[in-house]
Structures are given as C-alpha cells and as structure tokens.
C-alpha cells in the first residue's frame, strides 16, 4: 500500500460500523443532526434538506462521519444546478460510450469529525454503490477533500466550479462553505476501490 494510504488507513484501525439509513430509519434524526452540526461548526451553514439515503460511520456507539447519496436516475441531482447540461452530457468526454444516469450516484453532505473518517466512509460507500450497480460517483467537493483524495492517488475529475450564484437566495444558508472553492467532480467507482485496495 502506498505511503499516503498507510497514513490514512492505519495498520490497526479503530472498530467502526457502517450504518445505512433510510428516510424511515429510527436513526435518521441522529444522522441528520450530526451533519447539521458539522456543517454549522465548520461553515456556519444551515442544512435543512437531505438526500433520501444516508450512510454513517459509527464508533463506540456514536456517529463520527455521515453522508447522503441519491441516484441520478431517480431524481435531478443537487449539483446539476452548477452545470449547463445534465450530468451525463457533462461527463460525455470521460467515456468512449454514452454514460447512463442509472449508473451515476451523487454523494453529498460529507461530514466527519476527522479527515480520516471521511475516507473510511467513502470507501464503505463506494463499495455499497458498486454493489448497487453504480459506476460513477459525483460530488461537490471542497479543495480540502480534493487534496485528501489526491493523496490517495484518487484525483477527482472536475466538471465545473460550484458557483453559489446558481443557488440564488439559497446560497446565503451555506455560510462560508463557498469560500472553500468547491468544484463539481466525478470519479469511477471501480477504479477508486481498486486504488484503495478494496475488492470491486
């Protein structure tokens, strides 16, 4: 395993549990509150809406990281507000054949107490999405997250800048989030799993 990966994935990682949370789950309020708290503390942002599917990383009974995801086939993606065309068209240059929406999942509201927890969660979520038949993951990524993935040899493919002006009045609820210069980025799930040493 490359040195960067050894630093993020220690030889003796703490015992963690991955929890998948639907809208009906009893743990839904806990996961949403965790995401809200992290975004409020970090960016003074006010998160009020969430993806239909949440996934959380639990350690010693407490959530230490969480994120949401949705299928591009089921609904328009939040990040498509930043794009001039549907995401499958914006991604057309990345593959030799057309990319279908049913193969794209959006991951958002990635919240973690520590950067390393973000990577543990991403690895678990990537495995889950791959098992569900998704081939591509799309996300609005801060420069911190882009740098963290680059350390792992997973530089995301940028599609566009995440321009807050495209959110109109909703932009004000995001606090200082856009000071991080986020981008709309995509990556191939199978390639990411292979790079992280996870069977795909």
Sole residue written with tokens 């107490």: 113
Containing structural domain, residue 145: 67-196
Task: Calculate mean pLDDT across residues 60-65.
Answer: 93
Q: Could you tell me the sign of the dihedral formed by the alpha carbons of 12, 13, 16, 21, in that order? A: negative
How confident is the prediction for the chain on average, in pLDDT? 90
- Residue 68 sits at the vertex; the CA angle it makes with 164 and 108, to the nearest 5 degrees, is 25
- pTM for the complete prediction? 0.88
Residue 185 lies in a domain: yes
* CATH code at position 170: 3.40.630.30
User: Is pLDDT of 4 > 50?
Assistant: no
Residue 58 lies in a domain: no
User: What's residue 160's pLDDT?
Assistant: 97
How many domains is the chain built from?
Answer: 1
Residue 129 lies in a domain: yes
User: Is pLDDT of 3 > 50?
Assistant: no
- Residues 24-34 have pLDDT tens digits of 999 999 999 99
Q: Are 173 and 49 a contacting pair, CB within 8 Å? A: no
- Residues 84-109 have pLDDT tens digits of 999 999 999 999 999 999 999 999 99
Report the 10 Å Cβ neighbour count for 3: 8
User: What's residue 9's pLDDT?
Assistant: 42
């Amino acid at each position: 395993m490359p040195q960067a990966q050894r630093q993020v994935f220690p030889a003796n990682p703490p015992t963690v549990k991955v929890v998948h949370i639907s809208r009906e789950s009893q743990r839904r309020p806990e996961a949403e509150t965790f995401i809200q708290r992290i975004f409020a503390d970090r960016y003074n942002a006010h998160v009020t809406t969430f993806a239909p599917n949440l996934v959380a990383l639990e350690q010693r009974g407490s959530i230490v990281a969480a994120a949401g995801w949705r299928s591009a086939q089921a609904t328009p993606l939040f990040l498509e507000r930043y794009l001039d065309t549907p995401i499958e068209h914006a991604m057309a240059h990345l593959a030799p054949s057309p990319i279908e929406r049913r193969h794209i999942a959006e991951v958002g509201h990635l919240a973690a107490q520590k950067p390393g927890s973000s990577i543990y969660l991403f690895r678990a979520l990537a495995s889950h999405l791959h098992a569900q038949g998704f081939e591509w993951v799309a996300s609005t990524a801060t420069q911190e997250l882009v740098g963290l993935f680059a350390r792992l040899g997973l530089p995301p493919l940028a599609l566009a800048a995440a321009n807050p002006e495209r959110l109109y009045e909703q932009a004000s609820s995001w606090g200082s989030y856009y000071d991080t210069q986020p981008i709309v980025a995509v990556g191939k799930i199978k390639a990411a799993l292979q790079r992280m040493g996870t069977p795909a």
